[in-house]
C-alpha cells in the first residue's frame, strides 16, 4: 500500500478542497428553446459541497460509480472546468486565480488513448508536449529520454503511437504527465483498459517509483476497488455528487460494519440443507448470513457461512451451538473486516442519504 | 523571455504538423500538383479573354493572368487566416488532443495561435509556388508580366493588415467552435462573400453598382486592390494610403472584438464543462 505521508508541521496539504460545487445546465433542444424561450435550463448538480484534503506524498483514492463526479472533480482541479462555488488549492495555488501555477504543479494521466498524435512516434509526442510544459529547449531531449527509460519505453520510443499496445500507450501517458516533474499527479482510471498483468505492473510502478521513491502526491480516481485497496492510504467515496465516506482505508471499511462479521467453515451440513432449514434452526434475531459451498467443490457436505452478527460473544456462541446441534462440525471460525466492495455497495444503496454513523465529509 | 517561450512553442507546433502532414505522402505531393493545375487553368482562361482585359476597368496592369494570379494566391492566404483557428480547434477536439494541451501551463490563446502557424507556413510555400509557376507559364508562352519590385514592401504592409483583420474574424469563428462546437457555416459565408464580392476573380467595377457597394464592407476588397496596384501597377505607399486607412479601421475593430469574443467563449465553455467536448 502506498502513502508515504511526508507532511511536515508547517507544510501545506498538496490539495485542499473546500465546499466545492459544480452545477451544469442541462442542454436544451432547439425545439425546446423555441417553444419555451423563457424557461430556465434544468440544473444538474455534478459536485455538491465537496471538501477534503490530500496530504503531501500520499496516494488518495477517489472512488465512486460512474457519474459520481470523480472526473468532473479532476477537471475542476486541473482548471479545465470552472467551479460554480467553493474553492480549491493545489500546492497552495488557488485554481481560480493561479491557473498557470496550478497547471505547472499537476500532471494528468487519463486512460484516453486519443490524447496523443497517432501518426507521431512516442518520442515525437513527448518532445511536442515538453515544449507546452515549458521544459527548457536544451533539456527536452535529455528529459524525454530519461522518462522513456523510466517507464520502460525506450524500445518503442521511435515507433508510431498508433502501433502501440494499450499498456504501452498508458505508460507514455504517464511519461507525458511527468515531463515537468510535477509534485502532484491526477490519475483518472489509469488501468481501465489494461490486462491484469499490465495493470499490476503499472500499480507497482505508481507505488514504488512515483510515490515512495519520488514522493509524488497522487489523486487516483477509480471504480476498481481492489486497486484502491492495494494503492491508497486514504480515500473518499463519491456518490451522486457528494462525498459519502472519507478517511483512512481502515476507517472507511469500518463504516461498512453494522456489527461483527465472521467466516465459519462447517463440515457435515451441506449448503442446501442449511438453506432449507435456515429460517427455523440457524437464524435468530441479530443474525443473518450468506451460505456458499467451498470454492473447490471437493466436499459436498461442507458449507462456508458469512455471518453478520449485531454483537459477537453470546450471539456467536448461539450460532455455533445451533450448527453443532444440527450435526455440523466447526472446521474454522474467523472474524473478518468489511471489504471495500461492501462499503461501496452500502453507499450505493443509501442513495441520496447518509448512512448512520457516517463521518460528515469536510 | 515570453517571446522566446512563444517561439519555442511555435516551432514545436510547426514541427508536429510538418511530421503529420508529410506522413500522408501522396496527399502532400498531390497538393502541389493541384497548384500547378490551377495555375494552368487560369493561364489558358486568361488567354481566351486576352483582348478584352486591357479595356476593363480595375484590371491592374491590363493583363488578366497576373490579375487572377495575385488574386488567387492571396485569397488562399486570407482563407487560411479565416479558417485555420477554427479548424485547428475543431480538429483537436475531434482527435481528443485538446484536453492534453489545455492541461499544460501554456495559455489557451498561445495554443490556438501556435496551432495554426503551420497552415500559414504551408500556404506561404503554395503562394510562392503559385507566383513562380505563373511567371514560368507566362515566360514560356512569350507573354511575360512585370512585378514591380518597389511595390513589394507596400504590398506586404497591406497584406499584414489584411491578415490581422481576417484573423479577427477567424478568432470569432474559433470562439463559436469552442462554445457552440460549430462555426464552419460562418466561415463558408465569409469565404463565399469574399470570393463573390471581393474582386478575387474579376474587378469589383464589373459588378452592378448595388452589388459592388457591398464589397466595400469586406477587407479583402481593399487588400486585393492595394496589392495588385502595388505589384502590377507599381503604386507607391503614398498612393495606397486610402486602402491602408480602411484596413487599419478593420483591424482596430475586428481584432479586439475577436479577443473579447474568444475570452467570453472560453469562460462559457469552462463554465458549461464543454471545453473539450465535440
Which ipTM did the prediction report?
A: 0.84
Q: Give B105 to chain A, closest Cα distance, Å.
A: 5
In a domain, A140, yes or no: no
Residue A54: what pLDDT?
96
Q: Give A144 to chain B, closest Cα distance, Å.
A: 14
> Which one of A115, A122, A178 makes the best mutation probe of the B interface by having the most chain B beta carbons within 10 Å?
A115
CB B238 within 8 A of CB B150: no
Q: Give B95 to chain A, closest Cα distance, Å.
A: 6
Q: Is A193 in the same domain as A54?
A: yes
Return d(Cα B276, Cα B278) in angstroms, integer: 7
Beta-carbon contacts of A255 under 8 Å, excluding residues fewer than 6 positions away, are: A245, A338, A343, A346, A355, A357, A358, A359
In a domain, A360, yes or no: no
Q: Is A217 in the same domain as A279?
A: no
Residue A297: what pLDDT?
64
Residue B73: what pLDDT?
84
Q: Give A162 to chain B, closest Cα distance, Å.
A: 13
Residues 21-50 of chain A with CB under 8 A from chain B are 22, 24-25, 46
Question: Phi and psi of A308, rounded to 5°?
Answer: -110, 120
For residue A284, what pLDDT band results from cuts at 50, 70 and 90? low
CB A108 within 8 A of CB A133: no
Structural domain boundaries in chain B: 2-272
How does B101-140 read in b/e, with b if 16+ C-beta sit within 10 Å? bbbbbbebebbbbbbbbbbeebbeebbebbbebbbebbee
| DSSP-derived pairing of the beta strands A106-110 and A184-188 | parallel
* Residue from A42, A83, A23, A112 nearest B270 by CA: A83
Return d(Cα B199, Cα B207) in angstroms, integer: 9
Q: Is A214 in the same domain as A274?
A: no
A331 or A94, which is more confident: A94
Q: Do residue A116 and residue B100 have CB atoms under 8 angstroms apart?
A: yes
In a domain, A323, yes or no: yes
**Torsion from C-alpha of A46, A47, A48, A52, nearest 10 degrees:** 160
Q: Give A132 to chain B, closest Cα distance, Å.
A: 6
Q: What would the pLDDT profile of B230-261 be if each residue is shown by its tens digit?
A: 988 888 889 999 999 999 999 999 999 998 99
Among the ranges A191-195, B202-206, B222-226, which has the highest mean pLDDT value?
B222-226
Tell the residue number behind the cell numbers 448512520, with chain if given. Answer: A356
Q: Is A198 in the same domain as A292?
A: no
Q: What is the mean pLDDT of chain B?
A: 86
Report the Cα–Cα distance between both ends of chain A, in Å, rounded.
Answer: 24
Q: Is A98 in the same domain as A237?
A: yes
C-alpha dist (Å) from residue A296 to A84, A302, A336 = 54, 11, 21
Q: What would the pLDDT profile of A293-346 be if each residue is shown by its tens digit?
A: 776 666 777 888 888 777 667 778 888 888 888 888 888 888 877 777 777 777
Q: Is B267 on the interface with A (CB under 8 A)?
A: yes
Residue A352: what pLDDT?
47
Beta-carbon contacts of A64 under 8 Å, excluding residues fewer than 6 positions away, are: A70, A223, A237, A238, A239
Structural domain for A275, as ranges:
260-336
Q: Is B105 on the interface with A (CB under 8 A)?
A: yes
High-pLDDT (> 70) share of chain A, %: 88
Q: Residue A302 maps to which CATH number?
A: 3.30.70
For residue B26, what pLDDT band results from cuts at 50, 70 and 90? confident
Q: Is A196 in the same domain as A249?
A: yes
C-alpha cell of residue A188: 483518472
Q: Which residues of A touch B104 (CB under 8 A)?
A: 103, 129, 132-133
H-helix or E-strand spanning residue B99: helix B98-102
Q: Is A87 in the same domain as A224?
A: yes
C-alpha dist (Å) from residue A175 to A136, A144, A287 = 17, 8, 52
Q: Do residue A80 and residue B20 have CB atoms under 8 angstroms apart?
A: no
pLDDT at B206 over 80: yes
Q: Is A106 on the interface with B (CB under 8 A)?
A: yes
Q: Which residues of B touch A115 (CB under 8 A)?
A: 96-97, 99-100
User: For residue A90, what are the β-bridge partners?
Assistant: A15, A93
Helix (H, G, I), strand (E, B) or coil at A304: strand
Beta-carbon contacts of A34 under 8 Å, excluding residues fewer than 6 positions away, are: none
Across chain A, how many H-helices and E-strands are there? 12, 14
Return d(Cα A307, Cα A263) in angstroms, integer: 6
Helix (H, G, I), strand (E, B) or coil at A267: strand
Nearest to B272 among A24, A120, A134 (CB): A24
**Helices assigned H by DSSP within A133-283:** 137-150, 166-177, 196-204, 225-231, 249-254, 271-277
Q: Do residue A24 and residue B267 have CB atoms under 8 angstroms apart?
A: no
Residues 188-217 of chain B with CB under 8 A from chain A are none
pLDDT at A4 over 60: no
pLDDT at A358 over 90: no
Q: Is A134 on the interface with B (CB under 8 A)?
A: yes
Q: Is A97 on the interface with B (CB under 8 A)?
A: no
Q: Is A292 on the interface with B (CB under 8 A)?
A: no
Residues 158-217 of chain A with CB under 8 A from chain B are 176, 180
Nearest to A117 among B97, B272, B273 (CB): B97
Q: For A339, which DSSP code?
A: P
Q: Which of A213, A236, A254 is the last residue of a domain?
A: A254
Helix (H, G, I), strand (E, B) or coil at A301: coil
* Residue from A116, A142, A198 nearest A206 by CA: A198
Q: Is A25 in the same domain as A91?
A: yes
Q: Give B225 to chain A, closest Cα distance, Å.
A: 40
> Which one of B181, B266, B269, B273 makes the best mutation probe of the A interface by having the most chain A beta carbons within 10 Å?
B273
In a domain, A237, yes or no: yes
Q: Is B27 on the interface with A (CB under 8 A)?
A: no
Q: Is A187 in the same domain as A328?
A: no
CB B69 within 8 A of CB B127: no
Q: Is A133 on the interface with B (CB under 8 A)?
A: yes
Q: Do residue A132 and residue B106 have CB atoms under 8 angstroms apart?
A: yes
Question: Phi and psi of B238, rounded to 5°?
Answer: -60, -35
B102 or A294, which is more confident: B102
Return d(Cα B267, Cα A157) in angstroms, integer: 37
Cβ contacts from A onto B, under 8 A: 84
Question: Phi and psi of A57, rounded to 5°?
Answer: 75, 10
Q: Is A42 in the same domain as A93?
A: yes
- The total number of structural domains that make up chain A: 2
A354 or B123, which is more confident: B123
How many CB atoms are located within 10 Å of the residue B27 CB?
10
Q: Which of A254, A272, A299 is the last residue of a domain?
A: A254
Return d(Cα A158, Cα A152) in angstroms, integer: 13
Least confident of A200-204, B25-29, B66-70, B246-250: B25-29
In a domain, A147, yes or no: no
In a domain, A346, yes or no: no
Q: Is A191 in the same domain as A322?
A: no
pTM confidence score: 0.81
Residue A95: what pLDDT?
95
Return d(Cα A268, Cα A328) in angstroms, integer: 5
Q: Is A210 in the same domain as A264?
A: no
C-alpha cell of residue A275: 438453506
H-helix or E-strand spanning residue B251: helix B241-272
C-alpha dist (Å) from residue A21 to A60, A100, A148 = 20, 22, 38
Amino acid at each position: 500500500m502506498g502513502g508515504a505521508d511526508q507532511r511536515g508541521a508547517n507544510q501545506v496539504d498538496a490539495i485542499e478542497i473546500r465546499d466545492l460545487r459544480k452545477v451544469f445546465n442541462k442542454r436544451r433542444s432547439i425545439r425546446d428553446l423555441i417553444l419555451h424561450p423563457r424557461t430556465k435550463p434544468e440544473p444538474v448538480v455534478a459536485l455538491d459541497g465537496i471538501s477534503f484534503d490530500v496530504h503531501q506524498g500520499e496516494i488518495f483514492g477517489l472512488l465512486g460509480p460512474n457519474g459520481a463526479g470523480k472526473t468532473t472533480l479532476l477537471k475542476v482541479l486541473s482548471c479545465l472546468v470552472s467551479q460554480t462555488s467553493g474553492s480549491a488549492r493545489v500546492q497552495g495555488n488557488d485554481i481560480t486565480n493561479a491557473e498557470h501555477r496550478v497547471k505547472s504543479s499537476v500532471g494528468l494521466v487519463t486512460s484516453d488513448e486519443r490524447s496523443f498524435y497517432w501518426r507521431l512516434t512516442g518520442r515525437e509526442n513527448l518532445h511536442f508536449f515538453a515544449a507546452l510544459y515549458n521544459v527548457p529547449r536544451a533539456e527536452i531531449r535529455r528529459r524525454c529520454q530519461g522518462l522513456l527509460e523510466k517507464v520502460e519505453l525506450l524500445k518503442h520510443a521511435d515507433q508510431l503511437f498508433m502501433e502501440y499496445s494499450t499498456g504501452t500507450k498508458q505508460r507514455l501517458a504517464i511519461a507525458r504527465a511527468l515531463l515537468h516533474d510535477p509534485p502532484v499527479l491526477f490519475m483518472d482510471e489509469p488501468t481501465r483498459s489494461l490486462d491484469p498483468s499490465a495493470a499490476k505492473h503499472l500499480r507497482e510502478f505508481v507505488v514504488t517509483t512515483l510515490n515512495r521513491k519520488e514522493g509524488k502526491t497522487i489523486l487516483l480516481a477509480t471504480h476498481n476497488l481492489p486497486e484502491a485497496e492495494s494503492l491508497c492510504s486514504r480515500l473518499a467515496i463519491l456518490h451522486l455528487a457528494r462525498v459519502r465516506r472519507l478517511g483512512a482505508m481502515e476507517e472507511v471499511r469500518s463504516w461498512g460494519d453494522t456489527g461483527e462479521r465472521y467466516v465459519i467453515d462447517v463440515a457435515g451440513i451441506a449448503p442446501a440443507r442449511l438453506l432449507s432449514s435456515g429460517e427455523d434452526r440457524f437464524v435468530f434475531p441479530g443474525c443473518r448470513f450468506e451460505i456458499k459451498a467451498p470454492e473447490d467443490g471437493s466436499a459436498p457436505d461442507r458449507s462456508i457461512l458469512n455471518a453478520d452478527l449485531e454483537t459477537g460473544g453470546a450471539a456467536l456462541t448461539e450460532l455455533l451451538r445451533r450448527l453443532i446441534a444440527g450435526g455440523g462440525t466447526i472446521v474454522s471460525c474467523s472474524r473478518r473486516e468489511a471489504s471495500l466492495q461492501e462499503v461501496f455497495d452500502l453507499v450505493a444503496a443509501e442513495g441520496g442519504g447518509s448512512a448512520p454513523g457516517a463521518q460528515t465529509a469536510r | 523571455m515570453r517571446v522566446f517561450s512563444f517561439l519555442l512553442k511555435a516551432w514545436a507546433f510547426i514541427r508536429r504538423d510538418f511530421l503529420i502532414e508529410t506522413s500522408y505522402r501522396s496527399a502532400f505531393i498531390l497538393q502541389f500538383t493541384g497548384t500547378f493545375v490551377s495555375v494552368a487553368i487560369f493561364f489558358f482562361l486568361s488567354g481566351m479573354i486576352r483582348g478584352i482585359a486591357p479595356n476593363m476597368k480595375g484590371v491592374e496592369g491590363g493583363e488578366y493572368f497576373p490579375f487572377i494570379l495575385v488574386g488567387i494566391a492571396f485569397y488562399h492566404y486570407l482563407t487560411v487566416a479565416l479558417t485555420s483557428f477554427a479548424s485547428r480547434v475543431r480538429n483537436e477536439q475531434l482527435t481528443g488532443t485538446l484536453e492534453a494541451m489545455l492541461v499544460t501551463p501554456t495559455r489557451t490563446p498561445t495554443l490556438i495561435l501556435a496551432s495554426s502557424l503551420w497552415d500559414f507556413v504551408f500556404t506561404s510555400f503554395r503562394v510562392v509556388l503559385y507566383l513562380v509557376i505563373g511567371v514560368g507559364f507566362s515566360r514560356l508562352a512569350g507573354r511575360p508580366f512585370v512585378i514591380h519590385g518597389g511595390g513589394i514592401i507596400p504590398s506586404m504592409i497591406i497584406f499584414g493588415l489584411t491578415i490581422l483583420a481576417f484573423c479577427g474574424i477567424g478568432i470569432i469563428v474559433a470562439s463559436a467552435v469552442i462554445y457552440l462546437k460549430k462555426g464552419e457555416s460562418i466561415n463558408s459565408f465569409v469565404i463565399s462573400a469574399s470570393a463573390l464580392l471581393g474582386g478575387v476573380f474579376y474587378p469589383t467595377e464589373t459588378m452592378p453598382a448595388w452589388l459592388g457597394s457591398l464589397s466595400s464592407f469586406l477587407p479583402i476588397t481593399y487588400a486585393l486592390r492595394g496589392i495588385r496596384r502595388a505589384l502590377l501597377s507599381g503604386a507607391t505607399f503614398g498612393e495606397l494610403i486610402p486602402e491602408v486607412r480602411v484596413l487599419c479601421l478593420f483591424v482596430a475593430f475586428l481584432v479586439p472584438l475577436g479577443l473579447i469574443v474568444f475570452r467570453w467563449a472560453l469562460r462559457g465553455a469552462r463554465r458549461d464543462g464543454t471545453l473539450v467536448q465535440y
